[in-house]
Chains A and B, each alone.
Chain A
């Protein structure tokens, strides 16, 4: 079974702080994704990566950056957290094109 682990379940940060969300997968998947999930808006893609050191912008990359230094780890960075970044953040992976996404348990981030 695929295991996608997000380092924190709940985070509370202050406006302006730099925030790191970590995601680790144990199945050697090439592709990794970061989504945010908000009521009424569904899942929106922030960034994705198809390989180590590779990253692509999704639909809402503003205010975020990512890092993929190792195949199993994909980090989402909020350079200067703002209240409108309060959300549920979901990491997901898949093995090759056309295989299903497997999600982590999510990180609920609150920015005050």
Chain B
């Protein structure tokens, strides 16, 4: 199945900095999802986006559904050490198929 292009692959940032990552697809999606996965754990849903142009926040996290329906971004403001993990996007099409990005590994340096 299609794999989404997610960038950057990894980020090393200082505590307090803002973070931005994005995903692009060659296909149109009806839903964009953002997950966080910590080592040895399953992915946890952070934000779900259902409409082109939608901007949604969850605490310090903000995500947007691109107007072309082929991209999405996730921002984390004022990063803290517990933000460490792998973040990945997922797109959902009309056939109830999910497609996943390869993930962005985030390291926060205190």
Contacts and interface: CB of A to CB of B under 8 A. Distances in A.
- Indicate, yes or no, whether A interacts with B: yes
Interface residues of A, number: 26
B102 A98 contact: no
Given A42-B3, A108-B40, 4 more contacts: A94-B96, A98-B31, A105-B42, A106-B42
Counting chain B residues whose Cβ lies within 8 A of the other chain, the interface size class is 20 to 34
A4 B31 CA distance: 21
Interface of B: 1, 3, 30-31, 33, 35, 40-45, 48, 50, 88, 90, 92, 94, 96-98, 100-103
A103 B30 contact: no
A31 B44 CA distance: 18
Given A42-B101, A103-B44, A105-B42, A97 B1 contact: no
B42 A43 contact: no
